[in-house]
Structure 1
Amino acid sequence: MITLTILTICFLTGLSCKIKKFKAPLTLALTWYIHLIFLVLSAICLFLMLNDYGFKGTQTERVFFTLYAGTGMILYGLSKPGNDARHAYLMAFFGFPFVLLLGLMIPPLRVLTIVVALTLLSDSDFRRYNIDNDYALQSKTSGILSSAPVYSLISDKYWLFEKITPGIIQPQGVIKNLRMEKKGADSVLIQWGYGKAKKDTVIVLD
């Protein structure tokens, strides 16, 4: 639960700074710079995700998004109260936990709030099965949000990035006895299951 842990630490830090009325202009300026860096990284992540790309690593984008929101919470605690757009912007980060708490207290919104909280705060379980140095099969399980893992082809691209092609195989549940064998230079045979339930498919490597 790396997302929940980071956000909890950042929220408590921001709350402590707000209660103690902590004043440190240099710390405030430095935190703003860090926040803006993660804002840019988050925007890049969003653009990459819309085009089926991402930074290398299974949780890299989530860490960037989480630190972007977390530094916003800390900035709210370090900033002076005000009525300007900057204060409202920071309040959106710091007030998010209270919005979730309010949603849990209102019965018509309870289910929706739980779904939103699980989507934003829960970390998916990733597993990668290497095909070769440039390709891997990745499974992504999102807990109660999906009944079966999503299987994607991961292609190593452009030094820091990787291409993600989802839905390579679409089993009805968790794959057991997974086996992969390359067929030539541009295709791989994927097999899973036992006995009569055994299935296979061939995917093309781009």
Structure 2
Amino acid sequence: MNTLETIENRRSVKHYDPEHVMPEGDLARLIELTKLAPSSFNMQNYRLVVVRDAELRKKLRAVAWDQAQVTDASVLFIMCADLKAHEEDPAVYWSHAPQEVQDILGPAIRPFYEGKDQLIRDEAIRSSALAGMTLMLAAKGMGYDSCPMVGFDPEAVAELIQLPDDHALSFMIAVGKETKPAWPRGARLPDSKVVIQDRFEA
């Protein structure tokens, strides 16, 4: 399946084979591909909580509107982000780059974000969303289905996964083997509604 076919065929699947176990090699490859997602300054501030523990999945399902995919999918990913990634030593992100690139980007990271809580939060959601979309497309390309989820109690989920105070919780993604196709795709809004040429009208 090529990239365009993967985009066209990816759907939010709700019903999964609870007996399917994702091979460790597939999980490692899926994570490897997800980590190719772009991120500001290459901070890679997304964090992937990989939930396979059955008891924890049951508890998460209880605070996620009892949605079956939480427990039945092969793997549940919880997308989070480190809100202090910009405070890291820039060498963590750019030690591989030519020195002139390090000299430009390294010193720019902290000043760009420091003291800008809304920007930091926005970047956390952007980064985790880009990683999440990459994960779902990669999963489809590998023969799996997925479902992004925001239907859950965020405070309860944060407590269950022991989310650090300096991290943001974004959304969940269930990944596994489909047992029932997704509903027919909802109609796409017309270009006149979603596409703006150059600028919004006054």
TM-score, normalising length: structure 2: 0.25
The structure with the greater share of residues assigned to strand is 1
Larger Rg over CA atoms: 1
The structure with the greater share of residues assigned to helix is 1
TM-score, normalising length: structure 1: 0.24
